[in-house]
Amino acid sequence: MESIIDRIEQEIAAWEPAVGIEEVGTVRATGDGVAEIDGLTNAVLGEMVLFDETFARSLEDALRDPAPVYGLVLNLEEDAVRVVVLGGSEKVREGMLVRRTKRQLSIPVGESLLGRVVNPLGEPVDGKGPTGATHLHPIERPAYGVIDRASVNTPLHTGLKAIDSMIPIGRGQRELIIGDRGTGKTSVAIDAILNQKSEAKEKRPICIYVAVGQKESKTAKLVAELAEKGAMEYTVVVTAPASVSAPLQFIAPFAGAAVGEYFMDQGKDALVVYDDLSKHATAYRQMSLLLRRPPGREAYPGDIFYLHSRLLERAAKLSPEKGGGSLTALPIIETQEGDVSAYIPTNVISITDGQIYLEADLFNKGQRPAINVGISVSRVGSSAQTKAMKKVSGKIKLELAQLRELEAFMQFSSDLDPETKRRIDAGRRMTAVLAQGRSEPLPFEMESAVIFAAINGYLDAFGPEQIPEVEARLREFLDREAGGILLAIKESKEIREETERALREKLDAFLSRTGVR
């Protein structure tokens, strides 16, 4: 059966005319990164065009230019086409020749991109020379249909106890990370990338981090952190910083999806982080207004929903007949003053399979990650959890929900009965157990063991303020003396009866050493 890539390449080839006649237009007007072009009557929406000084050289020679200026056809009008210039717009002037390439905008993809930092056109920006990628993949293509997909049932562990236990993410899922500026959204995504190092190499997802409209210094810092912790060997970074034009920021997430799809089509798992789609929407609004598309709600064009839906629908878990690969999407949205009911946040919430909401108030109280478990949800749920995590995570949400309810009640009553006080202490203790520092992801077997200890009363003798220190000592103890138990959980993905018995013995031994038992 032909693959979707073969079909797309055949469709692109079908654009070529029967005779080798080049189609050339001229720039009628240009400004703000948009060019209006006469003469390209057969241009196709989404086609790449080439701005060229002279018609004397062949199209192949022009494409091999060290710094070619490309455009993307986005408006098809009665007497002209409007094109956005993909970088180098200062070189474009009235009367300049424009050639059809008869190609859909595509970028080079392949294994050689691993460990590299590239721009949205697939060109290296890390100073390490050419990437060597030769396979061209269209940045936009139809998402896989329902028949080609399988149910999401394999976990993608983030290494964050709060997420893996209560808001599990599956391979092929789309999980939104949403919150105000400075609440740790990028940190959650980077921890998820770092945690993949704990996976076996053959099962490890390829990670793609797409930085849209970010400061270059922030992206450089993240790349350095990933390299230092050995994560760049399975990661590709696509960057379109705030300093580049809106069209390049617009295509960046699609370029990241194209890189991920290449690996998904090879039967592998991939994870792509879009950081962030708020800035992506702003770039699209800017570009659309310059293209004279009518503005709608909050000045965004009417197709902004379609823009993000066709991007995020490309995340999928493929059926075994299609190779069984997956593409998991973690889009990030920045809210203003916690307003999740604004236009872009509600759009992306309705497209995705759940959201992780990071709350500024919790962040300011010192909770890390600052997840509001009340409105955070995974619509895939326990289908994307191992049996071990299912077994230990059942009671957590209930205890935290009781804590929120009782803390609200405490504001009106100073005299608490012993049962209420016990429940509040249990909720605060669980909140402390789920707290985790930045860049400290845990393997899921360690997460399962720690949460098992918490829900089975092994930490009840300690106050909430003691939990961070006690948990660190417990993890060190388990690493040192319960390696076989952790390995059994890792390999079987569940806590069997004999494993549970052995784990309880080790936990009793730990409490004896701390002087509690």
**What are the residue numbers of the active site?**
379
> How far is Cα 507 from Cα 453, in angstroms, rounded to an integer?
7
323 Cβ neighbours under 8 A, 6+ residues apart: 264, 265, 266, 267
208 in Cβ contact with 273 (< 8 Å): yes
**Around Cβ 343, how many Cβ atoms within 10 Å?**
15
> Residue 48 in contact with residue 251, Cβ under 8 Å?
no
Residue 257, CA distances (Å) to 44, 87, 272 in order: 22, 21, 7
Mark out the alpha helices in 73-210 (DSSP H runs): 161-166, 185-195
DSSP 8-state secondary structure symbol assigned to residue 283? H
The DSSP-derived string for 12-70 is: HHHTS-SS-PPPEEEEEEEETTEEEEES-TT--TTEEEEEES-SSS-HHHHHT-SS-EE
Which is nearest to 121 in space by CA: 2, 239, 272?
Answer: 239
Helix or strand or coil: residue 133?
coil
Helix 216-228 vs helix 185-195: crossing angle, to nearest 10: 30
8 Å CB contact between 448 and 388: yes
| Six-digit token string for 486 | 């952790």
Closest to 506 measured CA to CA, from 447, 471, 458, 457: 458
251 burial (CB, 10 Å; 0-12 / 13-18 / 19+) is buried
DSSP state of 294: P
Q: Could you tell me the two tokens for 390?
A: 């299912």
Burial category of 6 from C-beta neighbours within 10 Å (exposed 0-12, middle 13-18, buried 19 and up): exposed
Identify the residue whose tokens are 């995705």: 352
Q: Are strands 377-378 and 354-358 parallel, antiparallel or unpaired?
A: antiparallel
Spell out the residues 6+ positions from residue 254 whose beta carbon is closer than 8 angstroms to its own.
Answer: 120, 139, 140, 311
The C-alpha atoms of residue 463 and residue 471 are separated, in whole angstroms, by 12
Of 248, 224, 261, nearest to 117 by C-alpha is 224
